[in-house]
Amino acid sequence: MQREDGSRWIGGAFIVTAIVVAGLAVRTMTRAQTAVNPHGPTTAIVTDGPFRYTRNPLYLSLVLIFLGVSACLDSLSMLVLVIPFMAVLIWGVIPREEPYLEAKFGDEYRTYKARVRRWL
C-alpha cells in the first residue's frame, strides 16, 4: 500500500508541475502575442518565463503529465509508452518547427537555440 501511495504523490507532483509550466508558457506566449497552437503562425521568439529554461515547455508539460498519470496509475505499460511519445516529438514534430523558426527569425532564433536547451 505504501508504494502505491508514493506513486500517487510522485505522479501528482509531476502533474501539478506540468500544469504550472504549461500555464506559465501559455501566459508568456499570449503576452508576446504569438500563437500558442503549434499550427498557428509564430510572430515572436519568446525567451522569458519557462522559455528561459527550455525551448519546449509545452511539450515538456505533456511528457510530465504522461509520467504523472503513469505513476498515479502505477502503470509500467503506460510508462513505457512515454518512449514512443517522446520519439514522435523529437524526430517528428520538433524537426519541422525548428527550421521554420530559423528561416523566419534567423540569428535571433539561432542565438536563443544555442543558449537554451531543448528540454532542460
For residue 10, pLDDT beyond 90: yes
Per the structure, the complete domain to which residue 88 belongs is given by 2-115
Residue 120 in domain = no
Confidence (pLDDT) at 3: 57
> pLDDT (tens digit, 9 = 90+) per residue, 15-49?
999 999 999 999 999 999 999 987 888 999 999 99
Residue 69 in domain = yes
Angle subtended at Cα 23 by Cα 22 and Cα 24, rounded to the nearest 5 degrees: 90
- Phi/psi at 63 (nearest 5 deg)? -65, -40
CB 117 within 8 A of CB 54: yes
* pTM (2 d.p.): 0.89
> pLDDT (tens digit, 9 = 90+) per residue, 41-76?
899 999 999 999 999 999 999 999 999 999 999 999
- The total domain count for the chain is 1
